[in-house]
C-alpha cells in the first residue's frame, strides 16, 4: 500500500461513526446531564451557601452560592470538547490507541467529577 492510498484511507474513515467513540461520548454526556440534574434536585437550601470544595484533611474549605456548583460539570464539558478535538486529530493520522485513550479519559474524568458532586451535595 502506497502512502497516497494510506492517506486516502485515513481521510475516508468517519470519526463520528466509530462505535467506541459513540459509546464513550454518550456515556460522558449522560454523566454530565445526571450531574447537572443532581445539582438542581439535590441542593436543599438554594438561598444559603453550600460547600463548594471538600478536603479530607481540613473538611469544607470553600463555600459559596449553589450556582457555582455548575462549574464542575462545565469543566467536564470543556475537557470533553478538548479531548474530542485531540482524539479527532490523532484518529485522522491513524493513531487509534491514543484516540481511544483520550475519549475514555473524558468519560473517566466526568465520572470522577460526578462523584465529587454527589459527595459535595451530601455534606
Grid cell at residue 114: 460526578
> Closest Cα to residue 11, out of 97, 98, 94?
94
pLDDT by residue for the chain (123 residues), tens only, comes to 566 665 555 555 676 778 888 999 999 999 999 999 999 998 877 777 888 777 788 888 888 888 888 999 999 999 999 999 999 888 888 888 998 999 999 999 999 999 999 988 886
* Model confidence, pTM: 0.80
How far apart are alpha carbons 6 and 24 in whole angstroms? 27
Amino acid at each position: 500500500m502506497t502512502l497516497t492510498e494510506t492517506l486516502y484511507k485515513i481521510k475516508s474513515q468517519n470519526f463520528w461513526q466509530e462505535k467506541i467513540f459513540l459509546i464513550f461520548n454518550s456515556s460522558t454526556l449522560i454523566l454530565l446531564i445526571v450531574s447537572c440534574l443532581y445539582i438542581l434536585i439535590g441542593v436543599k437550601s438554594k438561598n444559603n451557601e453550600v460547600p463548594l470544595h471538600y478536603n479530607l484533611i481540613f473538611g469544607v474549605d470553600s463555600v459559596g452560592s449553589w450556582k457555582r456548583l455548575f462549574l464542575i460539570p462545565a469543566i467536564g464539558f470543556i475537557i470533553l470538547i478538548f479531548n474530542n478535538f485531540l482524539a479527532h486529530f490523532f484518529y485522522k493520522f491513524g493513531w487509534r490507541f491514543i484516540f481511544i485513550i483520550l475519549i475514555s479519559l473524558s468519560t473517566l474524568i466526568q465520572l470522577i467529577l460526578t462523584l465529587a458532586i454527589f459527595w459535595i451535595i451530601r455534606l
